Amino acid sequence: MAGIKLSAVKKIYPGAAEPAVKGVDLDIQDGEFVVLVGPSGCGKSTLLRMIAGLETVSDGEIAIGDKVVNQMEPAERDIAMVFQNYALYPHMSVRQNMSYGLKNRKMPKAEIARRIDEAAAVLEITPYLDRKPRALSGGQRQRVAMGRAIVRDPAAFLFDEPLSNLDAKLRLHMRGEIKQLHQRLKTTSVYVTHDQLEAMTLADRLVVLNHGRIEQVGRPLDLYRRPASTFVAGFLGAPAMNLIEAEVSGGALMLAGTALARGLQAEAGRVTAGIRPEALRLRPAPGGNFRLDYVEELGGSRIVHGHIGAQRIIAQTDLAQELSAEMHAELPLEELHLFHATEGHRLSMGVSQPAAADPQLVGA
């Protein structure tokens, strides 16, 4: 077990107009579960593959534990990787798949057998040990792929979108299993995904990447509560945060002539306002600023689509909420996020906003 330290890591593909990764610094603690998340093309997979040693590092330094690994082969880096397409060896049985890496490291047979039995028991794949991968379902293959990583007992696990080939239900289930597995093994893990929900639920620490740069690093709830830029704000949370063009004047957030929130201590001028759909307070009011367009039922709650002035806004309400064609929309000040209108970075509003609290377990 070991931490991973990235210092000014860059990746420049020959012939590419701009670097795929533009100088990333990241310090991953021993035992931490870090999720790299971002839209496709943001460099998250490239970054992971550089840690794995499958891509060369153009500039900067990667250290696993206290060894700089830039020049090491993947096999020498003491990491194990779980691939999106499982990458199981199709002509080998599950047992052979899991033992292949250990055999190549000249581990004694008895030790290999012990580790495989142990990992198979944890992952509940013992009955399939002698089957070939093609006789397994997607979820079982994913378990085998994880088993292959676990038996290695590496310094770090690297996950490259491991759940994206599974159907929604299985994905949810495997997500839980990965979380439990990490709690049990406490092995440093780096996990790449483009699914913000997966990222939020799994991460100890979340790294949001955009265009080869880190946008923000932090605990998932901190990022959700205090996104550092419009990019992070729009990326985390479903339904996504409303990002609307508005104006601050006289300590109020003005939108289409009505005040959405009051009491701001921010500089007057144009801003981008970020409003979580669940933060918007609606009440039926004839002639109100919010015009209702249509409603989506989620079962436990509703998503209300409408507009204020010319800008589309969505709100998430509970079922008790009364709806009408014209409503009054308002926002508690502490739920408002302000961003620079053109640069997109977060603006201070002069109100203290509570940092995210850790989930409190009763009796823990």
Partner 1 sequence: MVENRPFLTFLAHAVLILGVAFVALPVWIAFVASTHDQSTFLSGSMPMWPGDNIWETYGTILGTGAPVPGAPPLTLMLKNSLVMALIITVGKIAISILSAFAIVYFRFPGRVLIFCLIFVTLMLPVEVRIMPTFKVVADLGMLNSYAGLSIPLIASATATFLFRQFFLTIPEELVEAARIDGAGPMKFFRDMVLPLSQTNIAALFVILFIYGWNQYLWPMLITTDEKFYTVVMGIKRMSDVADSDPQWNFVMGSAMLAMLPPVLVVIFMQRLFVKGLVEQEK
Interface contacts to partner 1, rule CB under 8 A: 52-54, 73-75, 79-81, 83-85, 87-91, 100-101, 104-105, 132-134, 148
d(CA 53, CA 40): 21
The smaller minimum CB distance to partner 1, of residues 80 and 313, is found at: 80
Nearest distance from C-beta of residue 86 to partner 1, angstroms: 8
The distance of closest approach from Cβ of residue 265 to partner 1 in the complex, given in angstroms and rounded to an integer, is 53
Q: How far apart are CA 223 and CA 318, in angstroms?
A: 24
Q: How far is the CB of 85 from partner 1 (least distance, A)?
A: 5
Closest distance to partner 1 from the beta carbon of 105 (Å): 6
Shortest distance, position 54 Cβ to partner 1, whole Å: 5
Indicate the residue among 145 and 292 with the shorter CB distance to partner 1: 145
Residue whose CB is less far from partner 1, 136 or 246:
136
Looking at beta carbons only, is 101 or 344 nearer to partner 1?
Answer: 101
Check if the beta carbon of residue 151 is closer than 8 Å to that of residue 142.
no
For residues 48 and 200, which CB has a smaller minimum distance to partner 1 in the complex? 48
Q: Which residue, 86 or 235, has its beta carbon nearer to partner 1?
A: 86
**CB 150, min distance to partner 1, A:** 14
What amino acid occupies position 154? P
The Cα 348–Cα 352 span in angstroms is 9
- How far apart CA 151 and CA 124 sit, in angstroms, is 14
Q: How far is the CB of 3 from partner 1 (least distance, A)?
A: 20
Task: Identify which of residues 74 and 234 has a Cβ nearer to partner 1 in the complex.
Answer: 74
Backbone angles phi, psi at 231, to 5 degrees: -65, -50
Q: What are phi and psi of 136, to 5 degrees?
A: -110, 155
The phi, psi pair for 36, rounded to 5°, reads -95, 125
357 burial level (CB within 10 Å; 0-12, 13-18, 19+): exposed
Q: What residue type is assigned to position 359 of the chain?
A: P
Nearest alpha carbon to residue 74 among 105, 40, 39: 105
Residue 158 phi/psi, 5-degree rounding, is -120, 125
To partner 1, the closest distance from the beta carbon of 51 in angstroms equals 11
Taking the complex as a whole, the smallest distance from the CB of residue 55 to partner 1 amounts, in Å, to: 10
Choose between 87 and 221: whose C-beta lies nearer to partner 1: 87
User: Which residue, 158 or 244, has its beta carbon nearer to partner 1?
Assistant: 158
